[in-house]
Structure 1
Amino acid sequence: MWKWGPPLDGIIQIAFVVDDIHAAMPRYASELRVGPWFLAEHFALEKFSYRGAPATPDISLCLGFSGSMMIELIQQNCTSPSPYIDEANRPRCGFHHWGVAATPDAYQDRLDEFVDKGFPMVLDAVVGAGSRASYVDSASVLGGLIELMEINPPVEELFTHMRNSATAGYPAGTILPFPGAPGAQMSTPSEI
């Protein structure tokens, strides 16, 4: 079991693409009791390859919890090719992917399992703390993508911190800076 609660081989995240992340956060907070939100306005990516070609999408994202389930909202701020916009450069609003986690030593085997099942890899990325992430296209079977996330020790601590914050008594709609992002040292949360 991961430190923040979900089983090692289970779904840890459900993600949605939105066209306005600032409008979406209060809707998800009030209707689904998700939060507090951890917001990264221009999420840093160390590497991003979409369908085999390097890309540089500018995305904003936020993470919040409902119990031990992580909810992610993603907004793309540019027209760079990515899985978040369609061919007409419009956001692919709505459900986007399930997040599945793997330890660093199991990551490649798990990715190979998905590809061997006929789910082609559409995204290959490295995010903060050197953690790898891949999307595989499982839409024909599951109606959405699967994101495989490598959970190294810094990422496990980050998600545990975020999950623990969900029970810290923040008012509904609280927005906190994404740990490690510019401005994250700010201690005063804002409310939506």
Structure 2
Amino acid sequence: MVAQRDQVRRTWREGEMLVQGLGQLRQLGYVVRDIHAAMDHWTRRLGVGPFFYFERAPVLDFHYRNEPSRAAASGAFSNLGAVQIELIQPLDDHPSVFNDFLNSGLEGLQHFAFWTQEFDACVERFAAQGAAIVQQGYTGNRNGRFAYFETEAHPGTMIEISEVQDKKAELFERVAEASRRWDGSDPVRSLSTP
């Protein structure tokens, strides 16, 4: 892990700040060992909910360090005000940044995300600043791409750029609206994987 952090530090260009100008922070992503316990904690203890839960997140064309990976994860989404809370539990040992995080002995906040409709431009901007994509794929359709950038010199600071359009945008708005009106009932709402 130390060698990996040193490599990340070497790829950054001195004086450049990656997230300046990306707009509002939209998501905090927590990697957990038990997603059901995590949803219970967030809903019953913290009062954040409801969570929209995928037993197996619908991720396609998943790549880790430029190699295809069959990694699978459960995922759940809710909102805390304007910020989405994402819970992720790996379901296997296939390569992913989520397994890297847990295998390093950590659990909790793993990344924060910015949403965009200009995905290619954001990816190019990060690449120009020396940030490398470590994990990528898409959800829903090709307009639901995501990329995680190897910027984590400190736990919980990996950055995700997420393209939010079409079905993904509709789901995220549904999550936000349900959170605004949530009265504590029906705290976990299962979603089917297409």
- Global fold match (TM > 0.5): yes
CA distance in 2, matches of 1:66, 1:146: 19
Question: Secondary structure at the residue paired with 2:99?
Answer: coil
**Aligned counterpart, 1:63:** 77
Distance 1:111 1:26, change over 3 A: same
* Cα deviation 1:64-86 (Å, max 9, x = unaligned): 11111100010001000110113
Contact 2:31–2:102 under 8 Å retained in 1: no
Give the alignment partner of residue 111 of structure 1, picking from 123, 133, 145: 123
Q: What SS does structure 1 have at the residue aligned with 2:182?
A: coil
| Structure 2 unpaired stretches of 5+ | 1-21
Counterparts of residues 13-92 of structure 1 (less than 5 Å): 13-86=27-100, 89=103, 92=106
Output the amino acid matched with 1:16: Y
Q: Equivalent residue for 1:154?
A: 167
Tell me by how many angstroms 1:143 deviates.
5.0
Amino acid of the structure 1 residue aligned with 2:135: L
- Which residue identity does 1:150 align to in structure 2? E
SS at match of 2:181: coil
| Distance across 1 between alignment mates of 2:74 and 2:89 | 5
Give unpaired runs (5+ residues) of structure 1: 1-7, 183-192
Structure 2: how far apart are the matches of 1:71 and 1:27?
13
Distance 1:176 1:113, change over 3 A: same
Shift of 1:115: 2.0
Work out the CA distance in 1 between the residues paired with 2:83 and 2:179: 11
CA RMSD of aligned residues (A): 2.3
Preserved CA contact (<8 Å) 2:112 2:156: no
Report the alpha carbon displacement of residue 156 of structure 1 after superposing the two structures with TM. Answer: 1.7
> TM-score by structure 1 length?
0.81
Percent of residue pairs identical: 27
Q: Which amino acid aligns with 2:25?
A: I
Change in Cα spacing, 1:33 to 1:136, as seen in structure 2 (3 Å) is: same
SS at match of 2:59: coil
Please tell me whether the aligned partners of residues 72 and 90 of structure 2 are also in contact (alpha carbons under 8 angstroms): yes
Distance 1:91 1:63 in 2: 24
Q: Is the 8 A contact 1:84 1:92 kept in 2?
A: no
Aligned partners of 2:114, 2:36: CA distance in 1, in Å?
A: 26
Q: Which residue of 2 aligns with 1:169?
A: 182
Count of residues in correspondence between the two structures: 172
1:164 is displaced (CA, Å) by 0.6
Structure 1 residue 141 displacement after superposition: 7.0
| Structure (1/2) with the larger helix percentage | 2
**How far apart are residue 95 of structure 1 and its match?**
1.2
Residue 129, structure 1, aligned to residue 129, structure 2: no
SS of residue in 1 equivalent to 2:173: helix
Equivalent-residue separation in structure 1 for 2:168 and 2:101 (angstroms): 33
How far residue 142 of structure 1 moved from its aligned partner, in angstroms, is 8.2
